[in-house]
Amino acid sequence: MSRLTDASSIGQVPEQRPDRPHVVLVMSQATWAELITPALAGRLQAAAEVDLETVLQDFGQPGARPALHAAHILLTGWGAPRIDTDALDLMPALRAIVHAAGTVKTFLSPQVYRRGIQVSSAVEANAIPVAEFTFAAIVFAAKRVGAFAGEYRARRDLSARQTPSLAARAGTNGITVGVVGASRVGCRLLRLLRNLDVRVLVSDPYLSEADATALGASLTGLDELVAGSDIVTLHAPALPETARMIDRDRLAALADGAVLINTARGALVDTDALTAELASGRISAVLDVTDPEPLPPDSPLYELPNVQLTPHIAGSVGNEVPRLLEYAIAEIERLAAGLPLRFPVLAGDLPRMA
């Protein structure tokens, strides 16, 4: 029995009313299966007219046209097809697109905004696990956990904790953390860093000194941040002007023993230059994203002991994924009640989005 349509598992579905918005699900089937829970299914059905069993992955698939013609709101997610002029022509009643994920740049045409359609994203929800992951990575990197674990594995006794090259520099107390980008993730991370006894630098061309101070950081240029930080963590969007911003010269400017953390976009870093620096053993890295992604099977980064590679898991995974839908449903509830979106994505936001 479907967990989505068993009324006994989600409570009595409210009587349908013609004034409720008609919502159409647009994403991959796999995404919908990750997002939905019985409680969220009931909440969505209470807010809108929606067929929980029809998920459009292609606007040309059988049965799509009637659903799209009636759609007031598209609830989109990972795997959504591109929404361009041809697609919009199939949706004369469309008022809003609510995305149960992060960026909308990959599938939204500018025509969406020209037609006055509102857009919302759950990017704020996705920022939560990325900031948490990064905060944990900073603490573990400062504590030299990877290197200590390797020594312990090799020695099989507690003398590993006295390794001179590690013990003298381990810990967060008094270190400098450089945050590149005061994005949603960057700002959330800056607030988390207040829990540590660290000095924090931030670099962002759109951030004022007053705002940086309010976030507990000192505003500085990127070159000064790189040269003056024990740990550098990246949270800038992937834009033409940010491509390989961490280049050979900036990597060379990192202090011996520094750590680079990237949970943003792989394209922010010159991979060849980073590989050379890491192969020298002079610095370390925690990389949740790379360029290319995935790395080639023969990349040295898979084997280097001073590199922690994870398969793009900093964002929402597992039990964090339904939170994206929870944020999206809250937006649909606001629209149904005639309230403004809480997390709108405006046309002017797109150039600076990840």
- Catalytic site residues? 265, 293, 312
Range list of H helices, 162-320: 164-167, 184-192, 209-214, 222-228, 248-253, 271-280
DSSP 181: -
Sign of the torsion angle spanned by Cα atoms 148, 152, 155, 158 = positive
Distance CA 326, CA 197 (A): 34
Question: What's the angle, vertex CA 350, arms to CA 294 and CA 314, rounded to 5?
Answer: 35
Q: How far is CA 55 from CA 36, 52, 113, 187, 306, in A?
A: 12, 7, 24, 34, 44
Question: What's the angle, vertex CA 268, arms to CA 144 and CA 224, rounded to 5?
Answer: 70
Asked whether the beta carbons of 185 and 263 are under 8 A apart, the reply is: yes
Q: How far is CA 201 from CA 207, 227, 229, 257, in A?
A: 12, 11, 8, 18
Helix crossing, 38-47 with 321-336: angle to 10°?
20
DSSP 340: P
DSSP, collapsed to helix, strand or coil, labels residue 196 as coil
Q: Which residue has the tokens 């963590």?
A: 233
- Name the β-bridge partners of 218: 201
Distance CA 226, CA 311 (A): 25
Query: How big is the chain by its Cα radius of gyration, in Å?
Result: 23
